[in-house]
Amino acid sequence: MDNEMDRREFIKRTAATGALFLAGDRDGPSARTRDTIKIPEADKIVITFITDNYYDQIRPDDKIAKRHRPPRSVLDGALHAEHGLAYHVETVVAGQPHSFLFDFATDVQGVKKNLDLLEIDFKALQALALSHDHFDHQASLLELLKAKRDEIPKGIPFYVGERFFQGTYWRTPDGHVVDLLGLNKEDIERLASVRIVEIRDPTSIIPGAFSTGRIEQVTEYERIPPVFVAKKGDQFVQEDFIGEQAIVLNAKGKGLVLLSGCAHRGIVNTVKQAQAMTGMERVHAIIGGFHLTGAKPEVIQRTIADIKAIRPDYVVPAHCTGFEAIAAFAREMPDQFILNTAGTRYIM
């Protein structure tokens, strides 16, 4: 009997490994092949969009979304919006508050203005993290670190994914390669204010918030466009965004909260990774960039169908999701959909 059970277990594990190989993760084991991770329940989660592509000063609060209201005049208190993304993430775990910044957008003056208007306390930060190395998520970082040098805790960890500093590029239709302004590791180290931590596996950023580690591509339709390339030696090769990170939180009694930068490896894949790494199926909110701008209608529809099947309480497509996909989510998931605006706080 024991031999029969061993044989069955071997077949089951072999089949699972083969499926992962076919899914495209050929560089070693990932969260799906290891034990699950227990993320501490957060009594409270607050996700603040420091900036995003869209700002609406008079839009009302909506469900879990609390809109920013200018504290002074309507002009002085107006927030900056851009093609960029930056978050402030707060958790309360076992009665203790924690916070970090995730992504940093593009225009440092606009980002600094928003940080001040939103009253983000740099001295309370415990970590910094980046989803991936594209300019619209990190171009303001170096100048922001310099400007806030006296406020940021010395030696604060700065989490980035594997292969982060390899450089990242865009191939135009006429074949030219455009640098997407990847960060230089030496430039960051020269500031001597942060401690770079390169991660491959799910990693605790602050109590109650983990990075995903590698995100496996298990869906058939979520594929990275060939316009994204990386440099390998003297050659440009297809970018795989293997190091892109999302953030996973656990709202007490409500389920997982998934926070995405761009989801280049697929927003459905990203949510499935969060479920697999935690062993939790219930999803409270899916928030962030879904990278569906310019996607074919059938890809948008398949994405929405799979998100519907996950049954999140709330879905907040932002940044690079694109108008067509945002409109489709609003139309097909009206009870769960929230239109994001820069400065909005999601309180869970």
CA 196 to chain centre: 18
Residue 35, pLDDT score: 85
- Asked if residue 12 belongs to a domain, the reply is no
Q: What was the pLDDT predicted at 34? A: 63
In DSSP terms, which residues pair with 156 in a beta bridge? 194
Average pLDDT, the chain: 91
Alpha carbon distance 310, 284 (integer Å): 10
Write out the residue range of the structural domain in which residue 227 sits: 30-347
CB atoms within 10 A of CB 323: 11
Torsion region of 7: left, alpha or beta (phi above 0 gives left; psi -120 to 50 gives alpha) = alpha
Residues with Cβ < 8 Å from 77, sequence gap 6 or more? 69, 70, 71, 117
CB-based contact 196:186 (threshold 8 Å): no
- Residue the block writes with tokens 């092949």: 33
Give a yes or no: residue 23 inside a domain: no
Q: Provide the token pair at 304.
A: 């929405």
Q: Give a yes or no: residue 16 inside a domain.
A: no
| 131 located within any domain | yes
Tell whether 133 is covered by a domain.
yes
**For each of the chain's 348 residues, which pLDDT tens digit applies?**
344 334 344 333 333 333 333 334 444 444 454 689 999 999 999 999 999 999 999 999 999 999 999 877 888 889 999 999 999 999 999 999 999 999 999 999 999 999 999 999 999 999 999 999 999 999 999 999 999 999 999 999 999 999 999 999 999 999 999 999 999 999 999 988 999 999 999 999 999 999 999 999 999 999 999 999 998 888 999 999 999 999 999 999 999 999 999 999 999 999 999 999 999 999 999 999 999 999 999 999 999 999 999 999 999 999 999 999 999 999 999 999 999 999 999 999
d(CA 3, CA 331) in angstroms, rounded, equals: 54
- Beta strand segments in 53-95, E: 65-66, 86-93
Separation CA 289–CA 263 (nearest Å): 6
Whole-prediction pTM: 0.90
Asked whether residue 11 is assigned to any structural domain, the reply reads: no
Q: Is 231 helix (H, G, I), strand (E, B) or coil?
A: strand
Per DSSP, 247 falls in state E
CA neighbor of 39 nearest in space, from 91, 89, 88: 91
In-domain check, residue 10: no
What total of structural domains would you count in the chain? Answer: 1
* DSSP category for residue 62: B
Kindly report the CATH number assigned to the domain that includes residue 189: 3.60.15.10
Residue-wise pLDDT tens digits, 232-281: 888 999 999 999 999 999 999 999 999 999 999 999 999 999 999 999 99
Structure tokens at 184: 């230089």
Kindly give, in sequence order, each residue whose CB lies less than 8 Å from that of residue 101, ignoring residues fewer than 6 positions away.
50, 86, 87, 88, 89, 120, 125, 127, 128, 129
208, 39 Cβ separation under 8 angstroms: yes
CA distances from residue 335 to 225, 299, 342 in whole angstroms, order as listed: 31, 22, 21
